[in-house]
Amino acid sequence: MAVPVWPRTLPQPTQSGYSYQQKAASARTEMDSSTARVRRRYTRVPTHITLRWVFRDAQLAIFEYFWRKELLDGAAWFDVRALSGVGWKLLRVRPVSDGYQVSMPSPGIAEVSMQVEAIDMPVLSGEAYELMQLYGANQIQWIDEILDRFINVTLPAVEAGSPL
């Protein structure tokens, strides 16, 4: 059976109210006469993410169907865009046992939130980490803006016959 994907007709999670917490990947044993012993227990660390959406009435109905039929009342993994230190990425998540919460701040508007767990939260690649260590985030952002403008504005203009 294919893994369900977040419906295209529903909005992506909002950044407001978004949070995540990585669970501990190590075990700590206190010693009687020296420093504690700490060891890594596993490398695939679960991360709990709180997701929040704002739906209109019809979107809430679509979400509830998705929850009931596609997610098997919250038992199944699914793919949804979520935020980490490397930006919004498609993650495979599954709901944590509490289900989801709905509040109605105004007529026709529903705020839905749920906690999910993700395995393998994305992090920088080794090469990107080394670049960030050498140049820092501000310089990388500056270079990114220059490259974006060159690739998306300058090159298409040259291909169309305009001079640089």
Count other C-beta atoms under 10 Å from residue 95's C-beta: 20
- pLDDT tens figures, 96-123: 978 999 999 999 999 999 999 998 888 8
Cα(52)–Cα(14) distance, integer angstroms: 6
In the predicted model, what is the mean pLDDT of the chain?
87
User: Per-residue pLDDT for 17 more than 60?
Assistant: yes
pLDDT at 87: 83
Amino acid identity of 7?
P
pLDDT at 130: 83
Cα(106)–Cα(54) distance, integer angstroms: 11
Reported pTM = 0.74
Structure tokens given for 41: 């227990």
- pLDDT tens figures, 48-63: 999 999 999 999 999 9
Residue 76's pLDDT band (cuts 50, 70, 90):
very high
CB 123 within 8 A of CB 89: no
